[in-house]
Amino acid sequence: NVSKEQSPAVSNIVRKKLGGFVGFANLPNQVHRKSVRKGFSFTCMVVGESGLGKSTLVNTLFETSLYQPKTLPELGSELSSTVGIENISADIEENGVRLKLTVVDTPGFGDFINNDSSWDPIVTSIESRFDQYLEQENRVNRAKLNDNRVNACIYFIQPTGHSLRQVDIEFMRRLHTKVNLIPVIAKSDTLSEEEVDSFKRRILADIEYHKIEIFKAPAYEMEDDETIQENSEIESKIPFAIVGSTQTIQTGDGRSVRGRSYPWGVVEVDNEEHCDFTKLRQMMIRTHMEELKENTGILYENYRSEKMLAMGVQQDATVFKEVNPTAKAVEEKTLHDAKLSKMEAEMKLVFQQKVQEKEAKLRQSEEELYARHREMKESLEKQRGELDDKRRRLESGRPLTPERGGGGAQSTQKKSRGFLRS
Ligand code: GTP
């Protein structure tokens, strides 16, 4: 009966008691087994100036020498003037769970005198990974999607103790809508406890002022008190002040710890009283890796819908629908016609300008010709007047005046003498 049928949104859910064990309580285990069989993947990008401890932190996080230290360029050798993108992949396993880890390094970022646009190759790399995924989704056969999207970007802040630099702000402003940003204070063992606290406050104020969204553990209503407490502790440590080291050293009280040894003591990487490394690892790997991946999906969806809109596909509340093709064709034709008439108008204007220039030039040369003609006419008339005068004097037998006739015979004589002398 159609009239009695309710839409899923308004249907009443009636709680029923089961008579025995049916088996769907096993669903989480099924999902677990399938995920373990398939393995997991995670792509993490590290961005920060050279020497801030990026490779050390990645190796410390995953307790493996995944990332080899870079060799310094020879003195005097030509340095690269662009930011590069390098992928380092490794399959790691822990208690039978496999993880395909990819670290995306960005050598060169922030290393130049002028760091304007040094974020461009990074933005391009993140977007092209989204594009690759989108292209695979649009294929007829999408049985196995190769996911290279960046799940997290650890941004290394120089331990200056002041506030964020312009390059930090510009980078985060451009990237926060495309990737899960995790800002960290690099080499925090170079700052005192108070310096770290005030530095964190200033960084957070800058982040808020510039409306930069950084990754925070989402708060779900159904979460238990312990998880809520854990999440708020993690959040209170952002931006994480970190210390990286893969070296094991002996403390004064005989413990073997990962840390950095100083004349005044040992900074322990895994000691929460010394730095926030454990909180970063907890968030990134132990509790929120899946959350980071899910959020990457949301960022990708935003990118995808923006791209689709730009291509002329509109999205309503639930589904994507094509814009009416006839209306689209009419719109395109109107746009094309408008473009053509604009071009025509521009060409007319250029043509008119050229004609006006030519006319002005012709008028000028005409005037010049007239002026020359007038000059020549005047001089010819003057000459004619003089000759007439001469003729009249000769006919009347009057001698020619020296000044007017050029000195007559005498002057002719003078001239010939002068000519002979020379
Ligand atoms: P590039 O490979 O050139 O990009 O440098 P990077 O950012 O990967 O730095 P790397 O990890 O190679 O560390 C550079 C130097 O800093 C090394 O001598 C490390 O031992 C040291 N270092 C790394 N982490 C820390 C830290 O947390 N504190 C201190 N004080 N030094 C660190």
Question: pLDDT tens digits for 253-298?
Answer: 888 899 999 888 899 999 999 999 999 998 888 888 988 999 999 9
Considering only the C-alpha atoms of the chain, give the largest distance between any 2 of them, rounded to a whole number of Å. 159
Residue 209 pLDDT exceeds 90: yes
Ligand 1 geometric centre to CA of 51 (Å): 5
- Average pLDDT (156-175) is 91
Q: What is the pLDDT of residues 370-380, one digit of tens each?
A: 999 999 999 99
Taking the C-alpha atoms of residue 238 and residue 241, their distance in angstroms, rounded to an integer, is 8
Residues in the chain: 422
Q: Which of 54, 55, 56 to mutate to test the pocket of ligand 1 (most atoms within 8 A of CB)?
A: 56
- Average pLDDT (60-75) is 72
Residue 357 pLDDT exceeds 60: yes
Q: Which atom of ligand 1 is nearest to the CA of 48?
A: 7
106 Cβ closer than 6 Å to some ligand 1 atom: no
Ligand 1 geometric centre to CA of 74 (Å): 19
Q: Give, using CA atoms, the residue closest to atom 29 of ligand 1.
A: 187
Q: Is the dihedral of CA 154, 159, 164, 165 positive or negative?
A: negative
Residue 13 pLDDT exceeds 90: no
Q: Which of 47, 52, 271 to mutate to test the pocket of ligand 1 (most atoms within 8 A of CB)?
A: 52
Q: Give, using CA atoms, the residue closest to atom 22 of ligand 1.
A: 53
Is residue 313 left, alpha or beta, with left meaning phi > 0 and alpha meaning psi from -120 to 50? beta
187 Cβ closer than 6 Å to some ligand 1 atom: yes
pLDDT at 116: 73
Q: Provide the 10 A C-beta neighbour count for residue 395.
A: 8
244 Cβ closer than 6 Å to some ligand 1 atom: yes
What pLDDT band is residue 367 in, cutting at 50, 70 and 90? very high
pLDDT at 216: 86
Q: Give, using CA atoms, the residue closest to atom 16 of ligand 1.
A: 53
Q: Bridge partners of 359?
A: none
Ligand 1 geometric centre to CA of 118 (Å): 21
pLDDT at 401: 61
Residue 30 pLDDT exceeds 70: yes
Between CA 125 and CA 128, with CA 127 as vertex, the angle to 5 degrees is 65
**175 and 119 Cβ atoms separated by less than 8 Å:** yes
69 Cβ closer than 6 Å to some ligand 1 atom: yes
What pLDDT band is residue 400 in, cutting at 50, 70 and 90? low
Ligand 1 geometric centre to CA of 195 (Å): 20
Residue 161 pLDDT exceeds 60: yes
Ligand 1 geometric centre to CA of 158 (Å): 12
What pLDDT band is residue 411 in, cutting at 50, 70 and 90? very low
Ligand 1 geometric centre to CA of 57 (Å): 8
pLDDT at 419: 39
Residue 412 pLDDT exceeds 50: no
**Mean pLDDT, the chain, whole residue set:** 82
pLDDT at 359: 94
pLDDT at 1: 40
Ligand 1 geometric centre to CA of 120 (Å): 24
- Average pLDDT (200-227) is 85
pLDDT at 369: 94
54 Cβ closer than 6 Å to some ligand 1 atom: yes
Taking the C-alpha atoms of residue 294 and residue 292, their distance in angstroms, rounded to an integer, is 5
pLDDT at 268: 93
CB hemisphere CA count around 13 (13 angstroms): 3
Q: Give, using CA atoms, the residue closest to atom 23 of ligand 1.
A: 53
Residue 111 pLDDT exceeds 50: yes
Ligand 1 geometric centre to CA of 186 (Å): 9
User: In terms of DSSP bridges, do strands 97-105 and 40-47 run parallel, antiparallel, or are they unpaired?
Assistant: parallel
Domains of the chain and any CATH numbers: 35-69+80-323 (3.40.50.300), 326-406 (no CATH)
Taking the C-alpha atoms of residue 284 and residue 291, their distance in angstroms, rounded to an integer, is 9
SS3 259: strand
- Average pLDDT (111-121) is 76
Phi–psi pair at 308, nearest 5 degrees: -65, -40
Taking the C-alpha atoms of residue 81 and residue 72, their distance in angstroms, rounded to an integer, is 15
**128 and 270 Cβ atoms separated by less than 8 Å:** no
For residues 328 and 382, the model is more confident at 382
- Average pLDDT (229-249) is 90
pTM, to two decimals: 0.69
Q: Give, using CA atoms, the residue closest to atom 14 of ligand 1.
A: 51
Q: Give, using CA atoms, the residue closest to atom 3 of ligand 1.
A: 50
- Whose tokens are 């008028």? That residue is 363
Tell me how far the alpha carbon of residue 280 is from its chain's centroid: 26
What pLDDT band is residue 313 in, cutting at 50, 70 and 90? low
Q: Which atom of ligand 1 is nearest to the CA of 186?
A: 27
- Average pLDDT (139-156) is 87
- Whose tokens are 């995790």? That residue is 182
List of residues 6+ apart from 213 with CB closer than 8 A = 176, 177, 181
**40 and 164 Cβ atoms separated by less than 8 Å:** no
70 Cβ closer than 6 Å to some ligand 1 atom: yes
Residue 321 pLDDT exceeds 60: no
Q: Per the omega criterion (within 30 degrees of 0), is the bond before 159 cis? A: no
pLDDT at 317: 46
Taking the C-alpha atoms of residue 251 and residue 254, their distance in angstroms, rounded to an integer, is 5
CB hemisphere CA count around 177 (13 angstroms): 9
Residue 79 pLDDT exceeds 70: no
Phi–psi pair at 44, nearest 5 degrees: -125, 130
Ligand 1 geometric centre to CA of 55 (Å): 7
**109 and 128 Cβ atoms separated by less than 8 Å:** no
